[in-house]
Structure 1
Amino acid sequence: MKYPITVYGDPVLRKKATVIEKEHPKLEEIIDNMWETMYYSDGVGLAAPQVGMPIRMFVIDASAGADEEPELENFKKVFINPQIIETKGDEWTMNEGCLSLPEIREDVSRPDEVTLKYQDENFTEHLETFKGFAGRVIQHEYDHLEGILFVDHLSPLRKRLLKGKLLAISKGKVQPHYRIRIPK
């Protein structure tokens, strides 16, 4: 089932997400639906708050970056209850977009590496360091669990220039090819 994407202006995108327990109702179904929603929406990552669920989980398929980073060829993971342990390395800028902010793309600087403690879909614990494109996508999706959007990383001037577009999104005056949930 494809979920509608929650867009800018909905309070769920600004809440700090809560920890998931192994017994979370219908978790396997939620994960399957998140994959289906992400692929249908042409995303490389999707966090649970983006589909209206304030829980600490996101999915990523970074294989789109395999042309430049061959190790990403089969990079498809579920991250449950992630915690950033450390970010390091040189900051680099890349143009980012977000399914919750349709029609907006901006250059965002992030550190090159992120070390993350997380559980997979079987609640097996992992401690891994991710670099490059995968590290960037993880940081972007992790921000969603903290109530942060990529536009929060922009300068005050750039944010002011985007104010009209953000207001239009919150009113549903955008037409992405996927279903959206407009804030009440």
Structure 2
Amino acid sequence: MKRFFVIFSVVLVALFTLEMLNPVQEHVVVPFTGMLAKISAALVSPFDPNVMAYGKVLQFRDTGFAVSIEAGCNGVEATIVLVAAVLAFPASWKQRLVAILVGFFAIQALNLVRIISLFYLGDWNLEVFSWVHLYLWPALIMLDVLIVFILYLRHLSKSQMEAVHAA
């Protein structure tokens, strides 16, 4: 257990440090965040043609209300926590890679729901938007990370048990 926490902490600090570097922000994080805004608009526009995206902003054409997807709201930090946990737990590199990829998509799928729901909540009621943005969604995103990690651990346990029975 001590080994897990040491590796988890080192990887977490390293990845957060890497994420904060200007070249990483400029060439990876900001373009990725802009892509989230475009995907959000693409998901909503068949139902609501008044939605558009530019840069990292999602905006209503008619009312002008907009949200900007900022650091901490793009799922990058949640993914970093998952990656650190997966890398810290002993498993094959193939199992780790699969867990990271599946986890990334699970986090981003929920994050798109988060972005779109906050966009509509903000247009409807800024007080409700603020509470949901600051308290509810951060907890749900981290719960998603925890669930993905627990499912990964269960999968590892199951595959280890199958290996023992096969031997």
Normalised by the length of structure 1, the TM-score is 0.27
Quick check: which one's strand share is greater? Answer: 1
Determine which structure has more spread, i.e. the larger CA radius of gyration: 2
**What is the TM-score with the length of structure 2 in the denominator?**
0.29
Which structure shows the bigger proportion of residues in helix conformation? 2
Greater relative contact order (Cα < 8 A, sep 6+): 1
